[in-house]
Structure 1
Amino acid sequence: MSDSESTPQIGQIVRVLRGREVDQYSIIVGLIDERFVLIADGDKRKFDRAKKKNIHHLELINYISPEVKNSMEETTRVTNGKLRFALTKFLNDSVIDRKKGEQIDG
């Protein structure tokens, strides 16, 4: 298992597995300790009201948004627009990748 899969990182995309926001994607905007992180999506869950989440309730996606990571490193903040942009970009890219790689029987 690579380091990025086992250790959550700032800017990493996650899929929520438990709770009210099941199957929604968010971005890690803060690390509390080895069990808890802060997540936000810039839309329903704004950066200023990031949600504390147990990492066992998240699927860590092997993708770190460079925009979010750089912004957090430079200013310790990220705009909600940048969070929405990073999630949209990731979701669009992953859908395109899936279409390229899978044969869909119709």
Structure 2
Amino acid sequence: MEDGFNIGDIVLSKMGRDSGRHYIVVSTDENYVFICDGDYHKVAKPKKKKMKHVEATGSRSEYVAGKIAEEAKTTNTELRRAIAEFEGTENVPVQQDEM
């Protein structure tokens, strides 16, 4: 499943100090995924992570994937909200973006 990541997929970090955190895939290349969570890793500076160090959750944010495909501005708030919905914590207040 290592080569099956698509933009908008929600993944779980398996390695590193961020292990256990959920992210959304915003870009891919041959061996890496570029992931953001809108909190520690913002849209402006996604984290580059080897594909073998993340695990697919089987979920996808169609909203975020659509915005990236349209090349529309995706905000950190939208990423945080999509991850919160996946985790079942959508009632948690979302902080404002610092842009």
Give the TM bin, normalised by the shorter chain: 0.7 to 0.9
Identify the match of residue 71 of structure 2 among 69, 72, 75.
Answer: 75
> 3-state SS of the aligned residue for 2:44?
helix
Is residue 3–residue 51 contact of structure 2 (8 Å, CA) maintained in 1?
no
Q: Which residue of 1 aligns with 2:20?
A: 23
Aligned residues: 89
Identify the match of residue 54 of structure 2 among 52, 58, 69.
Answer: 58
Q: Which residue of 2 aligns with 1:85?
A: 81
- TM-score, normalized by length of structure 1? 0.77
- TM-score, normalized by length of structure 2? 0.83
Give unpaired runs (5+ residues) of structure 1: 94-106
> 3-state SS of the aligned residue for 2:19?
coil
Higher gyration radius (CA): 1
> 3-state SS of the aligned residue for 1:8?
coil
Give unpaired runs (5+ residues) of structure 2: 90-99
Q: Indicate the structure with greater helix content.
A: 1
* Pair 1:14 & 2:32 matched: no
